[in-house]
Amino acid sequence: MAPLRKLGFLTIGLFDEDDPRAGHESTLEIIELGEQLGFDSAWVRHRHLQFGISSPISILAAASQRTSRIALGTAVIPLGWENPLRLAEDLATVDVLTGGRLNPGVSVGPPMHYDSVKAALYPDTADIEDFTYQRVDRLLGFIRGDVASDFSGVEGIEVFSPRVQPHSPGLIDRMWYGGGSLGSAQWAAEHGMNFLVSNVVKAEGSADFAEIQLSHIARFRAHHPAGPNARVSQGLVVIPTDSATAEQRAKYQAYVDTRTPRTATTHGPRRMMFAPDIIGTSEEIAAKLQAHLGFQQVSEVAFALPFTFGHADYIQILTDIATRLGPLLGWSGQE
């Protein structure tokens, strides 16, 4: 098994409804800490009409001005909520601000609770909106520089471009698809994207989570032009307890205990499965990861921070990951 080359983390960015600034500031401070600890990437989740980050591009624009090296990603932006042309403008703008560090991850499908929100989101077009992969294809085209308007040139003192501006040439190579099925893995590969292996997957050929992730990675690389060199990042919830206090360890274990039962079986008609959280000392976690069929096939990860922990907890977890777990997995922080 090759050593881990790129170490990243992901946060949902929770906040208090009555004091949203504090939660957003905490997220930015955590990203700053990640850079100081040597992490290669920091990723944010996307949560609409919830008390988590609803505008990840805004957060990453702010983070771009507080950091200079760490890659900044989204895992993931659900495109059912987005206009691909407008999103392409936002992504290109933030990529320019970051100096080419943006790694946008996207997915498709109808927005969550679509029947409840469609009147507000698409009051005139709700029944004809296209939530298929075509929405991703449109976004990729605009990022690549496809024509978006048949008008260009000078009108008065204003100059118009037929393509999205600004154009950030390297961004197209840093587009990721977050997928949890064999079909999504193959589609992403055939369209030259990078692949974020989901911690929620569709049980198609197996009911073993690690085997399912392995099948997705194999399908992706079998259909990608880069073959075995195609980029894949694994996301799992990992909670090292090395420097945790007794109180923190108890809280972390209680969190894992409440979530573990859902990982034992498939859910719903689509047979969805959740990844088990991994908790313990860095040595214990490293051993479990090295035995994980999915982890064995990747050289970069974005470990997810638990949803409901506090700022001090995230500091402890990230510090242990960077200083203890990462080196045990072969990560040197030199990439």
The alpha carbon of 173 is separated from its chain's Cα centroid by a whole number of angstroms, namely 16
Query: Is beta strand 153-155 parallel, antiparallel or unpaired with respect to 158-160?
Result: antiparallel
Tell me the pLDDT band of 335, cut-offs 50, 70 and 90. Answer: low
- Centre a 10 Å sphere on the Cβ of residue 277 and count the other Cβ atoms it contains: 20
At 334 the pLDDT is: 62
Between 2 and 30, residue with greater pLDDT: 30
Phi and psi angles of residue 126, each rounded to the nearest 5 degrees, phi first: -55, -35
Separation of alpha carbons 133 and 148, rounded Å: 19
The SS3 call for residue 50 is coil
At 276 the pLDDT is: 96
Separation of alpha carbons 102 and 99, rounded Å: 8
- Centre a 10 Å sphere on the Cβ of residue 43 and count the other Cβ atoms it contains: 28
Separation of alpha carbons 38 and 288, rounded Å: 23
The SS3 call for residue 206 is coil
Separation of alpha carbons 232 and 30, rounded Å: 24
Mean pLDDT for the stretch of residues 251-256:
98
**List of residues 6+ apart from 259 with CB closer than 8 A:** 274, 277
Report pTM.
0.97
Mean pLDDT for the stretch of residues 27-41:
98
pLDDT digits (tens, 9 = 90+) for 262-308: 999 999 999 999 999 999 999 999 999 999 999 999 999 999 999 89
| CA dihedral (123, 128, 133, 137) positive or negative | negative
Instruction: Please give the sequence-ordered ranges of beta strands (E in DSSP) within 281-332, or none if there are none.
Output: 300-304
Separation of alpha carbons 56 and 287, rounded Å: 33
pLDDT digits (tens, 9 = 90+) for 60-78: 999 999 999 999 999 999 9
Under a CB-based contact definition with an 8 Å cutoff, are residues 45 and 9 in contact?
no
Tell me the pLDDT band of 53, cut-offs 50, 70 and 90. Answer: very high
Mean pLDDT for the stretch of residues 309-314:
97
Question: Cα angle at 269 between 297 and 223, to 5 degrees?
Answer: 30
At 2 the pLDDT is: 82
The SS3 call for residue 71 is strand
Mean pLDDT for the stretch of residues 215-235:
97
At 205 the pLDDT is: 86
**Which residue from 76, 330, 33 is spatially nearest to 188, judged by alpha carbons?**
76
| CA dihedral (325, 331, 334, 335) positive or negative | negative
Average pLDDT of the chain, as a whole number: 97
List of domains in the chain? 6-328 (3.20.20.30)
At 333 the pLDDT is: 83
Q: Which DSSP helix (H) or strand (E) runs through 257?
A: helix 246-259
pLDDT digits (tens, 9 = 90+) for 97-150: 999 999 999 999 999 999 999 999 999 999 999 999 999 999 999 999 999 999
